[in-house]
Structure 1
Amino acid sequence: MKRNVLIIGAGGVGQVAAHKCAQHNDTLGDIHIASRTVEKCQAIIDSIHEKRSLKAPGVLQAHALDALDIEAVKSLISSTNAQIVINVGSAFVNMPVLQACIETGAAYIDTAIHEDPAKVCEQPPWYANYEWKRRDACRENGITAILGIGFDPGVVNAYAALACKSYFDRVDSIDIIDVNAGSHGRYFATNFNPEINFREFTGRAWTWQNNAWVANSMFEVHRTDFLPVVGTQTTYLTGHDEIHSLSHHLKVPNIRFWMGFGEHYINVFNVLNNLGLLSEKPVRLDDGQSVVPLQVVKAILPDPASLAPDYTGKTCIGNLVKGEKDGRHREIFIYNICSHEESYAETGSQAISYTAGVPAAAAALLIARGDWDVKTMANVEELPPEPLLELLNDIGLPTRIQEGESDQLLELCAESFAE
């Protein structure tokens, strides 16, 4: 059984993951939080004490860390005796943190795909460019590395695996739909790191259609659906992490990702993009100073963590799955609804952070318990989905399934775990 958790990253997702780990520290052991800015880590610890999230007396400690420094990460893993590392820092630090885990023997968890700061929207499949190149090293060293276990990617991967395993004989399409129907009350803001957020939308939108990669422009293709709780919503075809592993591991000819945007967001985004302010390439000012426009925009926008106190409304994220069962057409929507207000009351973060941070903490628990301690690298759809979804039902992210007029909580039985 693995114990002692090191959380790298002190943003909104890190705050949620820390609260959830604290709520289960009787199983997970010591909890350490590390970031470049140790004050942010201490603020999370203060929040945990304030909300009395720590289940049992135990270690809860903040550390300063440059996660790009492999030796520094290795040293912190060793000094804290951490056997599980939850990486919820910038996507730029994935590879150094993963390498440190490989060299120290710690299990590795992340919530998003690695990105090179100098590159935007690389050729698919994205996991093959970085993470999967270290698969053999993980297997040879017995390292458990769970990739992309936020909500999307993450829980939606488990939804896809469960649908293919238990609900269909043949799956023809999986449309992942992500809608934030909440309001933060600001003129313009992003729900997580603006630099990472905008990079998702300035390149090509790669999706898997008819067993091949298809590239579209952002906001080129849209759809409208009537969704549970949040009602009629328009979403746009977008490239996203999970498509790049699901298309590789599941025999499904069509896998697409759709994200909801309001007209105001699209208008502001287009102005910023057309002016070149979302470029990751440095520009030189008249005084000779070099700046990256995207980083300037990031600096002037609200800190995503600051949005939480005023956030209202709910998110709806799920998979619309179509295919065949027992010779007949079948269509289900497997999904979760999350409240911004309830997320903030529990963890001090909004629902976007909550839906990403809770699954990461759940993965740590599954590794600690042995369910997911697979001693190799795996994307979520390669792992049994039932233990994750059962755990999420209990700790704050319940799954529902809508089919026709039926809409009910997903119930899992012990027999399904052994299938």
Structure 2
Amino acid sequence: MRILLVGSGGVGAAFTAIAARRDFFEKIVVADYDQARADKAVDALDDDRFVSAQVDASSADAVATLCRDHGVTHVMNAVDPRFVMPVFEGAHAAGADYVDMAMSLSRRHPEEPYARVGVKLGDEQFAVADQWESDGRLALVGMGVEPGLSDVFARYAADHLFSSIRDLGTRDGANLAVHDEDGNELFAPSFSIWTTIEECLNPPVIWEKARADEPDGGWFTTPPFSEPEVFEFPEGIGPVECVNVEHEEVLLMPRWVDAERVTFKYGLGEDFINVLRALHDVGLDRTDPVQVASADGPVMVSPRDVVAACLPDPATIGPQMTGKTCAGLWVTGVGKDGEERETYLYHVVDNEWAMREYGHQCVVWQTAVNPVVALELLANGTWSGAGVLGPEAFDAVPFLDLLREYGAPWGQRDS
């Protein structure tokens, strides 16, 4: 297996640190628009299986050329979701298989954005699934932690724990905090603010089986931050208020797992929600460029890119961060024994452990470990397939077993 990793930011760099301890691949080309950042990720490893390269992720041709130059068999996409389609198309053009952790972007319904779906997450990729299948190529989409591990949990619950499922509810929460040298808590998101804004300010999507015969096939939307609930997270994190957020699980799980309702709720916290609302109110969540005066004359800049540039790089805040992060799936329904059942399948990572063991903060480490596990399963033939497939399309047990071997045990809480 020869892998092209597109993107060497927080998640990409964590991916290399995790993969370096495994032997399932021959070569990983670490590519970034910023050659120096790719060099830094490779130099940190002292492993001649890794080489760096420069690539423009907005160009499918550039991705395809790099694949051909290095004999790449698998493209691993670790850049912002705005670049999903060119990286996805570049992999296909080069005859490589493809893995990502976020899917092609959605577009709101033009008349009823808070009731009906428009273009859904992943629609552009699923539109060409037949072409990938006929070419014998695999695009494994949504294979991070959320989406990714949460979707593996859905497959596991359906196959081994439940005879019928009412709710598949992804629930994500943490007790993380970032402090400056004086002990003051900072506003410093632990994941890409560009992606966070995209997810949290778009209309959240929900799926209900009872609405499957409606024009949108069971999917519908609500206003941002809807249906708040307090969810009790395990391993000392405790209660966190969670709200509906647009996320790929809701678009993936109903395609392969039978359930009555599918949701995604994120424990953002009141302060974070207020910041996001303020960004939206003044237009700083926009991605289309605006003209700004400068000493050298007018320049065009994206407001969201400015916000991202002003905040700390998530890859650098690990030493200032404390706490744990939890990703998981809450499932209700009827168990295999015919009795009512409620189960939370989860994965918790302590930042102190992630920094000590890998030198990467817990959120990016937790995201990155899952595609490494998936690629190892593809390399040894345990997982295989063709077309555009989500994690739910594969046997969950080998994945969960290998995740434990990586030193990342998952948990199960039954109510």
Mapped pair 1:134 → 2:141: no
Q: What does the per-residue CA deviation read over 1:350-381, in whole Å, with 9 as the maximum and x for residues that have no partner?
A: 11111110011111111111112313321110
Match of 2:149 in 1: 155
- Secondary structure of 1:190's partner? coil
Query: How do 1:50-65 and structure 2 match up within 5 A?
Result: 54=47, 58-65=48-55
Q: What does the per-residue CA deviation read over 1:176-210, in whole Å, with 9 as the maximum and x for residues that have no partner?
A: 11012111225212222222210112221111234
Mapped pair 1:207 → 2:218: no
Q: What does the per-residue CA deviation read over 1:294-321, in whole Å, with 9 as the maximum and x for residues that have no partner?
A: 2221121111112122111101111110
Query: How do 1:75-154 and structure 2 match up within 5 A?
Result: 75-115=65-105, 123=117, 126-127=120-121, 129-154=123-148
Corresponding letter in the other structure for 1:194: I
Of 6, 10, 13, the residue aligned with 2:11 is 13
The alpha carbon displacement at 1:116 in A equals: 7.1
Mapped pair 1:336 → 2:344: no
Q: Name the CA distance, whole Å, in 1 between partners of 2:158 and 2:384.
A: 23
Query: How do 1:243-322 and structure 2 match up within 5 A?
Result: 243-285=250-292, 288-322=298-332
Mapped pair 1:228 → 2:239: no
Match of 1:408 in 2: none
Corresponding letter in the other structure for 2:383: W
- Secondary structure of 1:76's partner? helix
- Secondary structure of 2:239's partner? strand
The alpha carbon displacement at 1:124 in A equals: 5.6
Q: Name the CA distance, whole Å, in 2 between partners of 1:400 and 1:279.
A: 39
Corresponding letter in the other structure for 1:115: L
The alpha carbon displacement at 1:266 in A equals: 2.0
Q: Name the CA distance, whole Å, in 1 between partners of 2:49 and 2:300.
A: 43
- Secondary structure of 2:24's partner? helix
Structure 1 unaligned spans of 5+: 405-419
Match of 2:385 in 1: 374
Q: Name the CA distance, whole Å, in 1 between partners of 2:314 and 2:273.
A: 18
Corresponding letter in the other structure for 1:32: V
Q: Name the CA distance, whole Å, in 2 between partners of 1:370 and 1:379.
A: 17
Q: Name the CA distance, whole Å, in 1 between partners of 2:221 and 2:387.
A: 32
Match of 1:219 in 2: 225
> Which structure has more helix as a fraction of its residues?
1
**Runs (4+) of structure 1 moved beyond 6 Å?**
116-122
Q: Give the paired residue count.
A: 394
The alpha carbon displacement at 1:339 in A equals: 1.1
Corresponding letter in the other structure for 2:21: Q
The alpha carbon displacement at 1:80 in A equals: 1.4
Distance 1:138 1:41, change over 3 A: same
Structure 2 unaligned spans of 5+: 180-184, 212-217
Of 371, 374, 379, the residue aligned with 1:363 is 374
The answer to whether the 8 A contact 1:280-1:294 is kept is yes
Corresponding letter in the other structure for 2:123: N
The alpha carbon displacement at 1:227 in A equals: 2.0
Select between 88-97 and 112-121 the one with higher mean Cα deviation.
112-121
The answer to whether the 8 A contact 2:240-2:269 is kept is no
Distance 1:342 1:177, change over 3 A: same
The alpha carbon displacement at 1:220 in A equals: 2.9
Output the aligned Cα RMSD: 2.2
The alpha carbon displacement at 1:173 in A equals: 0.6
- Secondary structure of 1:28's partner? coil
Q: Name the CA distance, whole Å, in 2 between partners of 1:272 and 1:92.
A: 19
Q: Name the CA distance, whole Å, in 2 between partners of 1:320 and 1:125.
A: 27
Corresponding letter in the other structure for 1:226: E
The alpha carbon displacement at 1:48 in A equals: 2.0
Corresponding letter in the other structure for 1:145: A
The answer to whether the 8 A contact 1:145-1:378 is kept is yes
The answer to whether the 8 A contact 2:141-2:388 is kept is yes
Match of 1:409 in 2: none
Q: What does the per-residue CA deviation read over 1:208-267, in whole Å, with 9 as the maximum and x for residues that have no partner?
A: 234433322222321112221111221112121111011232221211111112222122
